Structure 1
Amino acid sequence: MTEALPTPAPTGRVAPSDAFVEVDTAVGRVRGAWRPTVGSDVRSAAFLGIPFAQPPVGELRFAAPVPVESWEGVRDALEFGATAQRGDPGVTLIPEPSVPGDATLNVNVFTPVPGQADAALPVLVWIHGGGYFAGSPASPWYDGRNFNRDGVVTVSISYRLGFIGFGHVDGAPDNRGVRDWIAALEWVQENIRAFGGDPRRVTIAGQSAGGGAVLTLLGIEKAQHLFHGVWSLSPALADVAPERARTLTAKVANHLGVEPTRAALEAVDEDRLIEAQKAATDAGRDVAALLDGGLGLGPSIDGDLIVRPTSDSLRAGVGADKPLVLGATDDEFAMALAGQEKKLRWIPLSLLLGRMGLTAPARRAYLAANKDVVAKGHAAVLGRYVSDKVFKMGVVRAADARGDAPTWVYRYSYAGSPFGSAVHCIDVPFWFDCLDSSVGIPALAGEHPPQALADATHGAAVVLIREGRAEWPAWSDDAGVTRVFGGPASRSDVQRDGYAGVRPLL
């Protein structure tokens, strides 16, 4: 076996000539590379594309994740591994590249202290979003180097997407994507010490579908030993009912002209299966259907891993020993209505909201509670309403369901995007403190995003990961209290009832 290169001193600082570093995992040695962090001489070692399970192809396409086999010698972990996302679905404002290949179940580890098992640094595990059918852990925004700078080992994970990951298939385990999350977290428990992390101090975090993923895991009894804290950004929960999952499978099989069985679906080419998935989920889809029925593809209530809706599990006390921070941006879906104001202004607001399922009494109460948004025009109201229904209602319900379990809530109000409002994904580069990224920042956060806001947002994340708490009053002690990040002049403050505008919908 190749001799390991010198590991850094306990400070995490290394000589510039030390380009690579090697670490032993439970199944073989991997080689990573050193890179700089922002505003610091502490270096971050990146180990990319380490497999945590065998490639989910052939008979393994619809199987539970199978442990990866060991290898001899040193495996290069210098490039991102294959992603489950194929092509560019065009559904995210975050740069999330697709990487071809079959070995899509892999992790990326970023650490300042590789090989130092006694360092015992806290660990962040990031689960990407993308509606459960898109997204990639290979985003430059998810690079953990600046969490490393602050003494946090960071891991980003991949998982099966779409119908392959979450569709119901007779003869196959349900929630294969969820099982991938769990298998990746088990890999962390077994291997993270070798990268300087402490398996007893693992915080899971994610945004959008990733935010829904970490809430889903928080509500799963069988996953409780795998993590110790949660940060959920703009959670999109699915909790698909069994009958709805079976209906989707029938639509996919009908589109393909095959029986809805494991054997028949395994025989279908992956590209055709993705095409059928798109046809089955897009047909007849409109905003009103989404608002009424929620996501149709994602974690489902299978009676095994997920035995009840997540809010019911949280209300029953599952995960109550773990600190939770969660929140949403003010106008998650505002960009979907960009440029529509002139067209919508001539249609009565009551008619527009009525078509989206909001009845007259609730409509009057909702508009009264959101007068500031009403003043901005019909498009702003519709964008806020969809944002509230899809994201912010779930934040309030999850926080309330937790009772006195330690829970902190926030809102993200930074409106410096080209859309003029705090849109979906805008908090992510601030959370990772990656405003210096060369890809995608101006298109989402504007030309001059404030570093002070990144310091506050990223700093709050570090406090949760390192200390298991947040820096503002807890919702669990005073329901409604909310920290607002990036309000006027990009300040952060605390509001007594930061989600008052959502209350009429609950």
Structure 2
Amino acid sequence: MTATTLYAEAQTTAGRVRGFWRGEPGAGGSAAFLGIPFAKAPVGDLRFAAPVPVEPWDGVRDALAFGATAQRGDAGITLIPEPSVPGESTLNVNVFTPVPGDADAALPVLVWIHGGGYVSGSPASPWYDGQTFNRDGVVTVTISYRLGFDGFGHIEGAPSNRGVRDWLAALEWVQANIAAFGGDPARVTIAGQSAGGGAALRLLAMPAAQHLFHSAWALSAALADVPVDRSRALSARLAQLLGVAPTREGFASLPEEAIRDQQRKAATPASRDRLAGVRAVLGDGLSLGPAIDGDLITQPTIAALRDGVGSGKPLLLGATDDEFTMVTDSARGALRFVPASFALARLHVPRERRRAWLAGNRAQRRLGTAAVLGRFATDTVFRSTVVKVAEARGAAPTWVYRFSWPSPTRRWSLHCLDVPFWFDRLDEPHVAAIAGDAPPKDLAAAMHGAAVAFVRDDEPGWRRWADSPGVTRVFGGAASVPDVVPDGYASARALV
């Protein structure tokens, strides 16, 4: 902050907070309120507890810097810049608004849930700044939640799905407080990418969350839906690796970093086969994430959607064309003479399934086996999920998109590439690494415009899936591809 910084204040249920302006108030400016706690710090006796409401404070609390993140240390080079912030009070929200303190403004609200495979990620990314949505009349909130084993691991004597409970607590905070920041609690859209997209779908499919939001947008949703027996098995293996009892007392006796260092090993199959881990993820899904606990979550996400949970809420979802091909691309030399069918067989894909999928992906086969494997992983984890969710929703208001623009620096329309376009944050310095020095601004205008229209009016601008099953808006496709195609995910249908 500088001597010329303009401050803004708002009243929350716990006390008054002070944020700061970027730009001029009332002239396109955006006020940021950072690191506002929605629950007590999850440390000590609260480490493995459900989130506990924060204690009220006297006076005005500064909300001028991002709060502590559940992600610790340097996460290394990631596609999305997501900094770690040290500290204990990791359950916090960031609010970006053009009209702080105006309870009568009643602007639509976007709540963003970050990704990171449920084990990493940060709400403090510059890509998630709500300034561009503020420009378009949308109040924006980014939320934090507990990650990895602390957030999602099975622990005897502790409440399950603590990270999910953090989402619910943050959304409760939004319901109680967003009017003070100019937002309308009756018009909240939840959105997220990767694990954040999975979170949006999981919340959409949870009866306990229905009162907390109006609509949802899921970008490249990574579902978990971990079966309880698998969750218990991971907990037992982790406890064995750490030399403690698989109980709340046992895990609480260890520092956070000790568990974090071993959780990946506990989730990796004990096998000398280098493909065992890949098969486990493609076949069984993620090991840490929302679990079917029989309490807060009683059904897998798609089953709950098929049963009509969330059917009254508008949903928009989609994926990039090649989420994972950047990974397999590094092996294209070694895979040059390996037949695609043989490679899929090594992943234990059943014969009829792989034949049907390969028949629907002849164009990808012409790009080589590395491209085939990347698309297969993409279809298994992300693109088939889009179709499954849309079909499970039946007549519910659902729209589907694809992001097809290939990165000039990474060759493919890869995981995370769509995020700065969705936020219209192409001028952020970190974007060039993934999108090149001159990413198309018209593509950002189209995708961000669809997001604003959906948040504001429940209508992104193309036909609903139920009105024309398969209909898909294509963002960034080749010049020969129309903006809207009749069956945008036809090549993934063999995996549905």
- Under TM normalisation by the shorter chain, which class is it? over 0.9
Are 1:338 and 2:338 counterparts? Answer: no
Separation (CA, whole Å) in 2 of partners of 1:395 and 1:179: 25
Match of 1:498 among 472, 484, 488: 488
Q: Is 1:358 aligned to residue 345 of structure 2?
A: no
Q: Partners in 2 of 1:111 and 1:461 — Cα distance?
A: 17
Question: What is the rounded CA distance, in whole Å, between the counterparts of 2:317 and 2:484 in structure 1?
Answer: 15
- Report the residue type matching 1:47 in the other structure: F
TM-score by length of 1: 0.94
Structure 2 Cα separation of the partners of residues 51 and 129 of structure 1: 20
The match for 1:101 among 59, 66, 87 is 87
- Give the counterpart letter for 1:164 in structure 2: D
Residue of structure 2 in register with 1:461 after alignment: 451
Indicate how the Cα distance of structure 1 residues 503 and 292 shifts in structure 2: closer, same or farther if over 3 A, else same: same
For 1:400, give the aligned amino acid: E
Confirm or deny: 8 A CA contact 2:329 2:374 kept in the other structure. no
Paired residue for 1:31? 18
Q: Which amino acid aligns with 1:31?
A: R
- Residue 342 of structure 1 aligns to a residue in which SS? coil
Q: Does the CA contact (< 8 Å) of 1:453 and 1:490 recur in 2?
A: no
Return the alpha-carbon distance in structure 1 between the equivalents of residues 244 and 368 of structure 2. 49
Q: Using the TM superposition, give the Cα deviation of residue 41 of structure 1 relative to its aligned residue in structure 2, in angstroms.
A: 4.5
**Structure 1 Cα separation of the partners of residues 171 and 19 of structure 2:** 20
1:32-71 → structure 2 map (5 Å cutoff): 32-36=19-23, 41-71=27-57
Q: Which amino acid aligns with 1:280?
A: A
The 5 Å alignment of 1:13-412 reads 19-36=6-23, 41-90=27-76, 92-284=78-270, 286-412=277-403
Cross-structure match for 2:442: 452
Q: CA deviation at 1:36?
A: 3.5
Paired residue type of 1:262: R
Give the conservation status (yes or no) of the 8 Å contact 1:292–1:357: no
2:323 aligns to what SS in structure 1? coil
Q: Percent identity?
A: 62
Cα deviations by residue, 1:156-188 (Å, 9 ceiling, x for unpaired): 000000000000101111000000000000000
- Whole-angstrom distance in 1 between the partners of 2:293 and 2:462: 37
SS of the residue aligned with 1:488? coil
Quick check: 2:340–2:365 contact (8 Å CA) kept in 1? no
Closer, same or farther: CA 196–279 of 1 in aligned 2, 3 Å: same
The 2-side partners of 1:18 and 1:250 are apart by 52
* Shift in alpha-carbon separation, 1:442–1:18, aligned structure 2, 3 A: closer
Which segment drifts farther, 225-234 or 84-93? 84-93
- Tell me the alpha carbon deviations over residues 335-369 of structure 1, each in whole angstroms, 9 at most, x when there is no partner: 11233212101222211011122222222221221
CA offsets per residue over residues 41-83 of structure 1, 9 Å max, x none?
Answer: 4000000000000000011111000000011111110100000
Runs of 5+ unmatched residues, structure 1 = 1-15
Q: Following TM superposition, by how much is the alpha carbon of 1:297 offset from its aligned partner in structure 2, in angstroms?
A: 0.6
Question: What SS does the corresponding residue of 1:344 show, helix, strand or coil?
Answer: coil
Q: Aligned residue pairs: how many?
A: 488
Determine helix, strand or coil for the equivalent of 2:244: coil
SS at match of 2:349: coil
What is the alpha-carbon distance in structure 1 between the residues aligned to residue 136 and residue 13 of structure 2?
27
Q: Which amino acid aligns with 2:99?
A: V
Report Cα offsets for 1:286-340 as digits up to 9, x if no partner.
2111111111110000112111011111011100110000000000001112332
**1:12 paired residue number:** none
Report the AA paired with residue 189 of structure 1. Q
Report the residue type matching 2:158 in the other structure: A
Selected match of 2:415 from 412, 417, 424 = 424
Aligned partners of 1:450 and 1:490 also within 8 Å: no
* 2:191–2:197 CA contact under 8 A, matched in 1: yes
Q: In structure 2, list runs of 5 or more residues that go unmatched.
A: 271-275
Please give the secondary structure, in 2, of the residue aligned with 1:343: coil
SS at match of 1:305: coil
CA distance in 1, matches of 2:385, 2:6: 45
Deviation at residue 232 of structure 1 after TM alignment: 0.2
Does the 8 Å contact 1:324/1:408 carry over to 2? yes
Alpha-carbon distance between aligned partners in 2 of 1:90 and 1:290, rounded to the nearest angstrom: 22
1:95-124 deviation digits (Å, cap 9, x = unpaired) = 000000000000000000000000000000
Tell me, in whole angstroms, the C-alpha distance in 1 between the residues paired with 2:124 and 2:269. Answer: 30
Contact 2:31 2:98 in 1 (8 A): yes
Is contact 2:206-2:297 (8 Å) kept? Answer: yes
* SS at structure 1 position matched to 2:93: strand
Calculate the aligned-residue CA RMSD, in Å.
Answer: 1.6
